[in-house]
Amino acid sequence: MDRQYYNVVSLIRKKRDGGYLTKDEIKYLIDSYTKDELPDYQMSAFLMAVFLNGMNDEEASALAYSMLHSGIVVDLSSVPGVKVDKHSTGGVGDKLSLILAPIVAAAGVPVPMISGRGLGHTGGTLDKLESIPGFNVNLDLDAYEATIKKHNLVFIGQTEDIAPADKRIYALRDVTSTVECIPLIAGSIMSKKLAEGIDALVLDVKHGSGAFLKDVNESKKLGQRLVDIGLQFDKKVIAYLTNMDQPLGYAVGNWFEVVECIDCMKGKWPDDVREVTLLLSGAMIYLGDKADSVDEGVKLAEEMIASGKAYQKWIEIVGEQGGDVSMIENPDSYPKAEFSLEFKAEQDGYINSIDSYLVGMASLELGAGRKKKEAPVDPQAGIMLHKKLGDKIKKGETLLTLFTNKKPYLESAVQILKDAYGISNEQTEIKPMITHIIDKDGLRDFDYSTVPSLKR
Amino acid sequence: MDRQYYNVVSLIRKKRDGGYLTKDEIKYLIDSYTKDELPDYQMSAFLMAVFLNGMNDEEASALAYSMLHSGIVVDLSSVPGVKVDKHSTGGVGDKLSLILAPIVAAAGVPVPMISGRGLGHTGGTLDKLESIPGFNVNLDLDAYEATIKKHNLVFIGQTEDIAPADKRIYALRDVTSTVECIPLIAGSIMSKKLAEGIDALVLDVKHGSGAFLKDVNESKKLGQRLVDIGLQFDKKVIAYLTNMDQPLGYAVGNWFEVVECIDCMKGKWPDDVREVTLLLSGAMIYLGDKADSVDEGVKLAEEMIASGKAYQKWIEIVGEQGGDVSMIENPDSYPKAEFSLEFKAEQDGYINSIDSYLVGMASLELGAGRKKKEAPVDPQAGIMLHKKLGDKIKKGETLLTLFTNKKPYLESAVQILKDAYGISNEQTEIKPMITHIIDKDGLRDFDYSTVPSLKR
């Protein structure tokens, strides 16, 4: 069929006036933009109109569909098994992909993982992997397919072939204040994930102080939209809404997080990391048909840790993708950041709040994140937490240790952190990590009794 | 003072989230855009946010101020007298500037007039003037000043020096569906008008089927905004809201309208053109301190017609600006369009509605307007009305004659016009032309008894 033509100004006007675009109209906009026939200034006006007037379900699906088909959709049908990936909307200290991918792959489920870099206050899986000397995330699609066939696992970044429209729109949103928009976020996530060649997807939608969407209601909407799009594309999907009221685990910063992951794979878990990682792993194993329930999946995940098979899978993939395995086996040999500073409590009491956003921003300030796109990150920079929510602290005790290779950043990071901790005499109750589940049966509160194996 | 720097993404976000920008913030955006430091895609996102979230009074003034000062503000203090211009928001057949400028100049008030070209369904003063062979609207600012000194009158287009930010933003709005937005329209109009070197301004804000803003309530808001900005810049301002339920006069199309203007200057007026032209002229003469009231101004305007002084001024300025005076003196010598067609009534009755927008679009189709920016217009193309609202018509009688140099356009124009006329057995009441006035005392209904000389 001949390509249909639309008047772009009229399409922008329709969205501006609160109307809804057809699938063909959205496809026309995205195709034209990908082919450089539609200039940035028209796309940015359209994105702002979408930001302010929203999109309905059909439009959001059409957007994901059009961005997906702006590039190659990888065909992994030659890889046996149900291919499952996980996506997190991002949070501070969120290193879970690095732990759960080897667990799930070790359990027999192929995990084709295309990840992103850190953005704003949140870290990115690629930056963490690249802190391992030699680790190559820039595989082409042939190497991607060969690697998952061989190891049930592969880690790569978004190539030029994968959803190029998303790549350009993502960059444009960043400079036009159109980032925090549910249909645009959902389209961006799902176009990339659907291009990987997956059969199933587990989503971790964060809320709380360290998340992009702090409000749980916004996270519910995003989670629902992500699940809806996945189901429309005939994928098996489960989304969990999880709490990001404090950084995940104790390590924030690229290499620090890799080290924490190695500990986890050896069974030395921070409670919060353990709970979410095992749940997500269990769900992936369940969707990958290697367990009859999420709970059975969690049990199998624990076996992968206990048996050392997950750690073995990790060593295997690090080696395959060019990483220096000796650093994984002996993390103490890794070079240290030149400067450090202990950030201390100014009063006695219980830690009742940690502003994860500020911890993330301080880590970025120290060099672990990017102030500008494409800037390099410092793998040695970051923050180690000594105490978490609910812990008792004495005045003068260390809350955090900051690490950087640029001394002045210590002072500016301290400035950022000065209001990050809430300490009081009363110990408040810690909220549960996992709050809601969304799947084909809709949204409901998460019921811990359905996954008894999560209990320690 | 050093130039202050702002984060453009944050400024866009502020407007996106319904906030209000400071004068300095708006100035920063406009200055950066003028200097090519801010790309089109950020400006278009900002414009869409303004379209959807609006601007308050301070922001609208700051926008006009910033666009005004993006270029030269002409100093006409060496020209004696109170300099007065008129601006119309544009309508179909709106040729009033060509008649009232010579009237007011002849009455002793200097009229420095910077005009625009036709846009969409509405004609532009520059296109009408350029239908006079040789007429040069591209004077530089020195010639502009010299001409008004010599003749009390000058007609030019927006030069590169006049509000360049407005010129670029105007073009960007056109392709990003951000045109019909009151603060953006007001800023665009006022930045140009204030740059002319005027002391006073009379505004004709149209509503009805032929206007850009069809709804009278939108016109009230625009009029109020225009008056507010003018007053803030210490200009004397009066705005009239006038009815555009049918084309003004009988001629639509560039040279046709010039001919109608010549007739008017000789005292042969269509009623609607006479009423609005005399009122606006009277207001300009009043603001120009050559009459003690608008009514006295109207009387003086009529004298300028009756005495032939207005026509004489017109001949004088046409000659000064290079126009072929013989064409004005003998309009029948003008070359005719090659093709014409009579558009006839399909039933007996009274004309109870004329969709001026469709008449304007048909005229554009015939060649009198632009389908694309910078396209040439055909001075011979256009439409002559034979009947107006309230007139009795018989089936088969001619409603309109269409003129063009491209034959196929006759058929497409007829298609556009097929629903333009409403004819019924009952003669409905004709609405008054002038509906409201806005000045320093605010908005009120227009009271015809305050300007008794308007009566014929």
User: How far is the C-alpha of A209 from the C-alpha of B368, rounded, in Å?
Assistant: 60
Is A3 contained in some domain? no
Residue in A10, A41, A51 closest to B44 by CB: A41
What SS3 state is found at B115? strand
Question: Inter-axis angle of helices A40-53 and A164-175, to 10 degrees?
Answer: 80
Sort out which chain A residues have CB atoms less than 8 A from B48's CB and list them: 16, 44-45, 48-49, 52
Is A40 contained in some domain? yes
User: How far is the C-alpha of B146 from the C-alpha of B270, rounded, in Å?
Assistant: 34
pLDDT of residue A1: 39
Q: Do both B115 and B32 map to the same domain?
A: no
Yes or no, beta carbons of B42 and A16 under 8 Å apart:
no
Residue among A42, A177, A184, A373 with most chain B CBs within 10 A, to mutate: A177
Yes or no, beta carbons of A52 and B47 under 8 Å apart:
no
Contact A386, A270 (CB under 8 A): no
Contact A174, A144 (CB under 8 A): no
Q: Do both B403 and B438 map to the same domain?
A: no
Query: Is B324 an annotated catalytic residue?
Result: no
User: How far is the C-alpha of A303 from the C-alpha of A305, rounded, in Å?
Assistant: 5
Q: Do both A179 and A285 map to the same domain?
A: yes
Q: Do both B91 and B183 map to the same domain?
A: yes
The total number of structural domains that make up chain B = 3
Yes or no, beta carbons of A177 and B39 under 8 Å apart:
no
Yes or no, beta carbons of B48 and A43 under 8 Å apart:
no
Q: Return the structure tokens found at A153.
A: 């696992």
Q: Do both A101 and A14 map to the same domain?
A: no
Residue in A9, A40, A172 closest to B177 by CB: A9
Q: Which residue of B has its CA nearest to A169?
A: B41
> A283: domain CATH number?
3.40.1030.10
Q: Does A39 touch chain B (CB under 8 A)?
A: yes
Length of chain B: 456
Q: Do both A285 and A371 map to the same domain?
A: no
What SS3 state is found at B189? helix
Q: Which residue of A has its CA nearest to B51?
A: A16
Span B227-249, pLDDT tens digits: 999 999 999 999 999 999 999 99
> A389: domain CATH number?
3.90.1170.30
Q: For residue B77, give how far its alpha carbon lies from the nearest alpha carbon of chain A (Å).
A: 41
For chain A, 456 residues long, give each residue's pLDDT as a single digit of tens. 345 678 899 999 999 999 999 999 999 999 999 999 999 999 999 999 999 999 999 999 999 999 999 999 999 999 999 999 999 998 899 999 999 999 999 999 999 999 888 777 777 899 999 999 999 999 999 999 999 999 999 999 988 899 999 999 998 998 999 988 999 999 999 999 999 999 999 999 999 888 878 899 999 999 999 999 999 999 999 999 999 999 999 999 999 999 999 999 999 999 999 999 999 999 999 999 999 999 999 999 999 999 999 999 999 999 999 999 999 999 999 999 999 999 999 999 999 999 999 999 999 999 998 877 677 899 999 999 999 999 999 999 999 999 999 999 999 999 999 999 999 999 888 889 999 999 999 999 999 999 999 987
DSSP run (H or E) holding A52? helix A40-53
DSSP run (H or E) holding A5? none
Q: Is the dihedral of CA B101, B125, B219, B69 positive or negative?
A: negative
Q: Do both B254 and B380 map to the same domain?
A: no
Strand A421-424 and strand B339-344: the pairing is unpaired
> B33: domain CATH number?
1.20.970.10
Task: Please name which of A211, A187, A262, A228 lies closest in space to residue A93, comparing C-alpha atoms.
Answer: A211
Strand A200-207 and strand A84-88: the pairing is parallel
Residue among A15, A29, A48 with most chain B CBs within 10 A, to mutate: A48
Q: Do both A245 and A356 map to the same domain?
A: no
User: How far is the C-alpha of B226 from the C-alpha of B194, rounded, in Å?
Assistant: 11
How big is chain B by its Cα radius of gyration, in Å? 22
Write the DSSP symbol of residue A184: H
Sort out which chain A residues have CB atoms less than 8 A from B51's CB and list them: 16
Contact A232, A238 (CB under 8 A): no
CB-count exposure of residue A62 (10 Å: 0-12, 13-18, 19+): buried
What residues of chain B, 114 to 173, have a C-beta less than 8 Å from chain A?
172
What SS3 state is found at B193? helix
Residue B179, C-beta contacts closer than 8 angstroms, at least 6 positions apart? B173, B185, B212
Q: Do both B314 and B209 map to the same domain?
A: yes
Residue in B45, B174, B176 closest to A178 by CB: B45
pLDDT of residue A116: 83
Region at A28 (left for phi over 0; alpha for psi -120 to 50; beta for the rest): alpha
pTM for this prediction: 0.87
Q: Do both B293 and B382 map to the same domain?
A: no
Interface confidence, given as ipTM, is 0.85
Q: Do both B134 and B276 map to the same domain?
A: yes
Yes or no, beta carbons of A9 and B39 under 8 Å apart:
no
Please provide residue A193's backbone torsions phi and psi, each rounded to the nearest 5 degrees: -65, -40
Contact B251, B260 (CB under 8 A): yes
Q: Do both A372 and A346 map to the same domain?
A: yes
Sort out which chain A residues have CB atoms less than 8 A from B176's CB and list them: 9, 12, 41-42, 45
Is A68 contained in some domain? no
Percent of chain B scored above 70 by pLDDT?
99
Q: What is the mean pLDDT of residues B336-347?
A: 96
Q: Does B418 touch chain A (CB under 8 A)?
A: no
Residue B413, C-beta contacts closer than 8 angstroms, at least 6 positions apart? B362, B363, B365, B366, B383, B402, B404
Residue among A14, A15, A29, A41 with most chain B CBs within 10 A, to mutate: A41
Yes or no, beta carbons of B177 and A53 under 8 Å apart:
no
Q: Which residue of A has its CA nearest to B43?
A: A41
Span B277-319, pLDDT tens digits: 999 999 999 999 999 999 999 999 999 999 999 999 999 999 9
Its domain, for residue B380, covers: 337-424
Span B172-212, pLDDT tens digits: 998 999 988 999 999 999 999 999 999 999 999 999 888 87
User: How far is the C-alpha of A335 from the C-alpha of B428, rounded, in Å?
Assistant: 90
Is B136 contained in some domain? yes
CA dihedral B441, B446, B450, B456 (to 10 degrees): 150
Q: Which residue of B has its CA nearest to A15?
A: B177
